[in-house]
Chain A
Amino acid sequence: MNGVLVVLEYRVHNSQPVWNRMSWEALSAGQDLAGRIGQPLVAAVAGESPAVPAAELALRNVARVYAVEHELLASYTADGLTLALEQLVHSIQPSYVVFPHTYQARDFAPKLAARFEQTLIADVVGLHFDGPRPVFVRQLLQGKLNADYRHSGDGACFISTQAGAFRPDKVASGSCQVEVFRPQLDAAKIRSKPGERFRLSEQTVDLTSAPLIVSVGRGIKEKDNIPLVQELASAMGAELAASRPICDNGWLPMERQVGSSGQSVSPKVYIAVGISGAIQHLVGMKGSKAVVAINKDENAPIFEVADYGIVGDLFEVVPALTAAVRKAKGA
């Protein structure tokens, strides 16, 4: 066994391949890992006709690109992609297999790892060495705790990388060969029938271009308390946003949700009110220029990414802040 295999992800939209941008972060993590253990870095993309993305990938500093090609890979199914990649892994025998921790990878990568009697080390945020084998860092308890994981035994080690944890721009350019890999797939082995992708409604609120965002989380306790935060947003001239539980409860519409299942935002200022900062939320707002956290728990993970913080009861702090903002604006 030798080498680090990174499996990148794209989908076809209006007949054009569109990368899942987390793919490049996984490639960057794979590059770090390959460099540290002195093994070659190889990459793979799978689809019905992956020639275009494979060619683009071959312009990066990797030893080889595998274009995993089959008409049964036109639409994603866990059965189809697992079978295809199982054959690729058997054929090239890498010591590490790296995925971006996308919704798609979450659906099939654990299954693929299990085929090799392995456990996927999912959602890795960091990599360090202590001896010859790498130590993979993951977050536990919604980011409150870090954990070091280690792989042992002779089999391949499977990992997936968290959104935003590895820098995508670190992968150097280069030039390598594309090898077409045609897996043997049988339509009868693919048990699920995927339908078309759809969006529930066209989004009318574009948080992605908002310069100021006030965002509210579980700490607000009840729907009737939302106006408290709305007032702060209005006083600031900010858009109101929310973490997932608020939208799940129907307290604010889904289109105001920030996080991995909602919008990714990068305002000048993001004020997180009563948001503990679960990973799924942080990936959607880490790009903000300045983050302010208002939370009663000083150990809440939101303070990990906050530039300014107030540790206190939001029901006291927010009205005071609304008044202070009005005063500052009036002066």
Chain B
Amino acid sequence: MKIIVAVKQVPVRDSVIHVDSAGKWLEEQDLSFEINEPDAYALEAALLLKEKHGGEVVVLCAGPERAGPTIREALAKGADRAIHIQSDDLVKLDTLGVARLLAAAIAAEKADLILTGLQSDDLGLGQTGVVMAELLGIPHATIVMEVEARDGFIRVKRELEDGWFQWVEMPMPALLTIQSGISKLRYATLMGIKKAKTKEVRRLPADQLAAPSAATVSLDRVYLPHRKKETHILGGSPAEAAAKLADVLKFEVRVL
């Protein structure tokens, strides 16, 4: 089974962020980057399927040069090779533009399964996978918790709202977006890190992949949210703040 895992590199969770001077995006030199967490679970799901059914796992990533270490880490965890779509200005594209690049880069691969995280931790639009499936003309399922591959088709457990689930069957090739937290993530072993250095990373400049299409949706401005609610911050040492809060709970909210 050939499985492609589309991963994105995003700012490290809990980063301290600063908006750039143009107000268009973040000041990137202040940031560290890592694999988007849901994509790490998609990679894990792909590696588990490969262990069970054999085959190949190919990492697909669109991003600037700095995405390199994220790709190497995926290879160190056990992916066989990678495709790096190189672009410095993905921020200017809308989802459809990014999905077109991703789909064009893998159209010739004829994969059985394409996995990706259900959404990115930075933009959080949650649709790149679905749009890729549409462009590739294959079925998809989103927010997937479990994957069972059978002969020519797959069964997946989808999460629905309010604690409901559903099994869905579909033919392969198919695209699945994977929910975070569905399994334990593996670490790269020393041997894996060593091997990753010699694994193939094919670099494809974005402008050679697909004719740039005018984005119909643009990100105009980013800014820190105004606080709608006045939060009463209780200061002092931990003991002082705790005592103030106990007073609030007892005398203002009256629940003690």
Contacts and interface: CB of A to CB of B under 8 A. Distances in A.
Contact of B221 (A108, A147, A151, A321): A147
Interface in B1-58: 11, 13-17, 19, 26
Interface hub of A119, A139, A149, A299 (most chain B Cβ within 10 A) = A119
10 contacts: A119-B215, A145-B222, A145-B225, A263-B163, A269-B253, A292-B248, A304-B225, A307-B232, A323-B242, A325-B246
B159 to A, nearest CB: 6
A307 B96 contact: no
Contacts of A152: 214-218
A146 B225 CA distance: 6
A125 to B, nearest CB: 9
Nearest to A200: B165
Nearest to A144: B17
Contact of B134 (A115, A138, A149, A311): A115
Interface in A222-265: 236, 244-245, 248-249, 254-255, 260-264
Interface residues of B, number: 80
Interface residues of A, number: 99
Interface in B93-139: 94-97, 99, 121-127, 130-131, 133-135, 139
Contacts of A151: 216-217
Contacts of A327: 246
Given A122-B127, A307-B231, A196 B248 contact: no
B170 interface: yes
B165 A123 contact: no
Contacts of A212: 255
B229 A306 contact: yes
A114 B134 contact: yes
A248 B182 CA distance: 7
A200 B126 contact: no
A262 B181 CA distance: 14
B159 A261 contact: yes
Contacts of A139: 124, 225
A186 interface: no
Nearest to B141: A192
Given A122-B125, A203-B163, A110 B229 contact: no
A196 to B, nearest CB: 7
A117 B135 contact: no
Contact of B241 (A78, A123, A254, A310): A310
Contacts of B11: 141
B247 interface: yes
Interface in A89-136: 102-104, 106-111, 113-115, 117-123, 135
Contact of A268 (B121, B124, B255): B255
Nearest to B41: A248
B17 to A, nearest CB: 6
B209 interface: no
A40 interface: no
B238 A197 contact: no
B222 A118 contact: no
In the A-B complex, the 7 residue pairs with the closest CB atoms: A248-B181, A110-B127, A320-B242, A324-B246, A316-B238, A191-B139, A321-B242
A142 interface: yes
B224 interface: yes
A123 B120 CA distance: 13
A303 to B, nearest CB: 5
Nearest to A254: B163
Interface in A57-115: 78-79, 102-104, 106-111, 113-115
B144 to A, nearest CB: 11
A310 B242 contact: yes
A308 interface: yes
A32 B64 CA distance: 40
A269 B160 contact: no
B231 A199 contact: no
B141 A110 contact: no
Nearest to B161: A103
Contacts of A52: none
Contacts of B126: 106, 110, 122-123
Nearest to B100: A114
Contacts of A199: 163-165
Nearest to B155: A195
B238 A312 contact: yes
Contact of B242 (A150, A305, A317): A317
A208 to B, nearest CB: 11
Contacts of A146: 222-225
A140 interface: yes
Nearest to B227: A304
A311 to B, nearest CB: 6
B243 interface: yes
Interface string B220-256: 1111110111011110001101110111111001011
Contacts of A178: none
B180 interface: yes
A319 to B, nearest CB: 8
Interface in A279-321: 279, 289-290, 292-293, 297-299, 301, 303-313, 316-317, 320-321
Interface centre among A145, A150, A249 (most CB of B within 10 A): A145
Given A249-B181, A325-B246, A192 B229 contact: no
